[in-house]
Chains A and B, each alone.
Chain A
Amino acid sequence: MTDKVLSKKDWVDTLKTIRNSYRIFVPVREGDFHNFRPLEDETIPNFDFSNTRLSPKSIVYPQSERIFECLNDPESPEKGILKEAEKDYPPQAVIGIRPCDAQAFQIVKKNFDNPEYRDPWWVQRFESAILVGLGCNAPCPTCFCCSVGGGPFKEDFLDVLLYDLGDRYFAKGLTEKGRVFISKTKGGAPADEKALKEAKTLSAAAQDKVTAKIPSGRLGEKAVPALFNAPFWEEVAFSCINCGTCTFLCPTCWCFDIQDEIYGKQVDRIRNWDTCMSPLFTLEGSGHNPREKKFQRVRQRFMHKLKYYVDRFKNGVQCSGCGRCVRYCPVNIDIRRVAGLMNEYKNE
């Protein structure tokens, strides 16, 4: 039995010592919100957050990543020969990740790690990561994890789950990796009955608080052309300003663009997050753009998440219910409402 109860102070202290074994990422307060940052000497972890503004997806899948490089030197025999950019994949631990964001990695994994295709960088970084989750004592009104197969204390996608018991954490090991992580922490005491009971109460209370839902049960049975040609897209898209807030904040949006950048003799091939909201995303070399209109791009985002993914992977929707897009869309396009329109749509 490795499950432990640690005071909050011991927990932060032990994170600093455990840095010898893992590269640690913690939530850090940055002005009005939190983001995950590497734990350095001067970093002050702050676990007093509902969720981080940016999802932790960048820890596994950076917004900009050098994937290949070559020389643009006419003298060099190596000129123009692409080589994979060197990287290391040290064990890393994401501390305080919410269960929804952990589930998001499993949703994205279907795309980056499947029998047909394995993305070497995503896979290696994901496999080197330990997800130490923090259960949500107070889910937000915009959270709908419970209707997409998750929950505020969902254990399935994590290696360790932390229960915030006020002045202490109860750390529950869920996988072998997670149990090894807990065994490396210092201080604390083995979990007792009292802690287990408190944890159970917290989890049940939180579950009841997640009342928002995304209607998705009937998406699978709809015909793609029917939904694609449904009459509501223009109306849904009207207010959209086509910014990338929803896609960049989303823990499950995975699309990218590849760019070559030259600086002197150095050529870098860089993979950057891209967003289907941008017309450039589909602009073809000929000048033709199959998604020239705003409503086509908005439709793509919802069809991808709520229909194409559903049909292709049989793994539910491509959404873990974190609610970031709902909270931060500057014009309040609400995926819950759009899912409702799609789910209820009858092609007559």
Chain B
Amino acid sequence: MMREHTERIRETAKRLLKDGKVDVFIGYRKGSVPMINEPVSISDPEKTGLLHWDSNCGLNLCNYLTKRTDRIGIIANGCNSRNIVTHIIENQIKRDQLYIVGIPCTGMIDLKAIKRAVKFREIHDVEEKDGRFIVKGDGFEETFEKSDFLQKNCATCLHRNPVIYDELLGDKVPEQKGMETFRDVKKIESMAGDDKWGFFNRLISSCIRCYACRNACPLCYCSTCFVDEAQPQWVGKSTDSTDTMTFHILRAFHCAGRCTDCGACERACPMGINVRQFTKKLNKDALELFSWEAGLDEGQRPPMDVYKTDDYNDFIR
């Protein structure tokens, strides 16, 4: 399946570049270390052999579209396609600049969980085959079911198939149903105020303010982030916990009603912080208060940036 996808992606990219349908093709190439692939941009049809697809393509490619002016071919699975929709709605890219090559997705592997499963022994190679993958290291070889080791956001994903595409590679996959997406959020919601505060403080206690979460996020395209603002400076730059918390909370709120839960933030964090605990609460609110899931419809603006004179809420009319 993965190998088939890789072959199809290469052929499609080559065709699109050769026919002059796109100027560049954005996809992934196999990483130099196991389980991390590198986003890559290809403009030479002869170099499309570099393209690769497997369950380690966790960094959202939509990051690389922002404010581009050329014609771009891009790979999109479910969440990436939803971010592309959000990008289009938010005027970060035009639909007619894009040739979207959709990939029905069965989820990304949680590399941290794999490291735990092999008891932190050094992994030299991971080979994926028929819904399983084989992890090889010095003196060990273990086989795992992919479905047992999905990234947490993938395990409860409700939109595995791309919502927008010009061409779909392979057949659609069945969507997961009846997932308890917000179990963790509900648990936090049920805590007393002080416990919640304690929970979030512990959550970010190891944060080093590298901003990998923010920068891996396709929503965080502000030309100057509020934490980088110097005149006036809103947030301190030290590792003081107040400043760190300000960053995380405000960033999450800025993503309210826009986050597709693609998991790139959590995957990128070098300190293993479950940063989705911030954004997921707001996704839950958006769903419960506005029946809204981000990035499903090109024609509808997210709830936080619309005003309607016939809004059903009194307070805003």
Q: Which residues of A contact B (CB under 8 A)?
A: 30-33, 50, 53-54, 63-64, 138, 140-142, 235, 238-239, 241-245, 247-249, 257, 259, 261, 270, 272, 275, 278-280, 283, 326-334, 336-337
New A-B pairs, 20, CB < 8 Å, besides A247-B210, A249-B270, A261-B238:
A32-B112, A32-B120, A33-B272, A53-B270, A63-B239, A140-B122, A235-B41, A238-B40, A239-B59, A241-B63, A244-B209, A244-B210, A244-B212, A245-B270, A259-B237, A279-B228, A283-B230, A326-B32, A330-B36, A334-B32
Decide yes or no whether B39 CB sits under 8 A from chain A: yes
Q: Which residues of A contact B206 (CB under 8 A)?
A: 30
Decide yes or no whether B208 CB sits under 8 A from chain A: yes
Q: Which residue of A lies closest to B32 (CB)?
A: A334
| A53 to B39 CA separation, bound complex (whole angstroms) | 24
Q: Are B115's CB and A32's CB within 8 A?
A: yes
- The 7 A-B pairs of least Cβ separation, nearest first, read A244-B210, A330-B268, A64-B238, A243-B212, A332-B31, A241-B215, A332-B38
Decide yes or no whether B129 CB sits under 8 A from chain A: no
Main secondary structure of the interface of B (DSSP, over half): mixed
Q: Which residues of B contact A257 (CB under 8 A)?
A: 237
User: With A259-B237, A261-B236 in contact, do A278 and B228 touch (Cβ < 8 Å)?
Assistant: yes
Decide yes or no whether B267 CB sits under 8 A from chain A: yes
In chain B, positions 179-210 with a C-beta closer than 8 Å to chain A are 206, 208-210
Q: Which of A50, A270, A327, A332 has the most CB of B within 10 A?
A: A332
Please, how many residues of chain B have a CB less than 8 angstroms from a CB on the other chain? 41
Q: Mark B1-41, 1 if CB is under 8 A from A, else 0.
A: 00000000000000000000000000000011100111111
A-B contact pairs, 24 of them (CB 8 A): A54-B208, A64-B239, A64-B240, A141-B124, A142-B33, A238-B39, A239-B39, A239-B40, A243-B211, A243-B216, A243-B268, A244-B212, A245-B212, A245-B268, A248-B208, A259-B237, A261-B236, A275-B210, A329-B36, A330-B36, A331-B59, A332-B33, A334-B32, A336-B32
Q: Which of B40, B112, B208 contacts A63 (CB 8 A)?
A: B208
Decide yes or no whether B116 CB sits under 8 A from chain A: yes
What's the least CB distance linking B280 to chain A, in Å?
A: 20
Q: Which of A235, A238, A272 contacts B64 (CB 8 A)?
A: A238
| A325 to B189 CA separation, bound complex (whole angstroms) | 37
Decide yes or no whether B271 CB sits under 8 A from chain A: yes
Q: Are B238's CB and A280's CB within 8 A?
A: no
Q: Which residue of A lies closest to B233 (CB)?
A: A259
Q: Which residues of A contact B39 (CB under 8 A)?
A: 238-239, 331
Decide yes or no whether B96 CB sits under 8 A from chain A: no
Decide yes or no whether B138 CB sits under 8 A from chain A: yes
Q: Are B230's CB and A280's CB within 8 A?
A: yes
User: With A64-B238, A140-B122, A334-B32 in contact, do A241 and B272 touch (Cβ < 8 Å)?
Assistant: no
Q: Which residues of A contact B63 (CB under 8 A)?
A: 241
Q: Which residue of B lies closest to A143 (CB)?
A: B122
| A248 to B207 CA separation, bound complex (whole angstroms) | 11
Q: Which residue of B lies closest to A270 (CB)?
A: B238
| A279 to B39 CA separation, bound complex (whole angstroms) | 21
Q: Which residue of A lies closest to B217 (CB)?
A: A241
Q: Are B272's CB and A243's CB within 8 A?
A: no
Q: Mark B205-244, 1 if CB is under 8 A from A, else 0.
A: 0101111101110000000000010100000111110000
Q: Which residues of A contact B122 (CB under 8 A)?
A: 50, 138, 140-141
User: With A238-B39, A238-B41 in contact, do A272 and B237 touch (Cβ < 8 Å)?
Assistant: yes
| A216 to B297 CA separation, bound complex (whole angstroms) | 51
Q: Which residues of B contact A249 (CB under 8 A)?
A: 270
In chain B, positions 112-156 with a C-beta closer than 8 Å to chain A are 112, 115-116, 120, 122, 124, 138
Q: Which residues of B contact A328 (CB under 8 A)?
A: 270
Q: Which of B38, B210, B237 contacts A239 (CB 8 A)?
A: B38
Q: Which residues of B contact A334 (CB under 8 A)?
A: 32-33
Q: Are B212's CB and A332's CB within 8 A?
A: no
Q: Which residues of A contact B230 (CB under 8 A)?
A: 280, 283
| A231 to B309 CA separation, bound complex (whole angstroms) | 54
Q: Which residues of A contact B41 (CB under 8 A)?
A: 235, 238
Q: Are B215's CB and A243's CB within 8 A?
A: yes
| A247 to B211 CA separation, bound complex (whole angstroms) | 12
Q: Are A337's CB and B210's CB within 8 A?
A: no
In chain B, positions 100-121 with a C-beta closer than 8 Å to chain A are 112, 115-116, 120
Q: Which residues of A contact B115 (CB under 8 A)?
A: 32
What's the least CB distance linking B160 to chain A, in Å?
A: 22
Q: Are A259's CB and B236's CB within 8 A?
A: yes
Q: Which residues of B contact A337 (CB under 8 A)?
A: 32
Q: Which residue of B lies closest to A275 (CB)?
A: B210
Q: Which residues of A contact B32 (CB under 8 A)?
A: 326, 332, 334, 336-337
| A275 to B237 CA separation, bound complex (whole angstroms) | 12
Q: Which residues of A contact B38 (CB under 8 A)?
A: 239, 331-333
| A272 to B40 CA separation, bound complex (whole angstroms) | 33
| A32 to B269 CA separation, bound complex (whole angstroms) | 13
Q: Are A330's CB and B238's CB within 8 A?
A: no
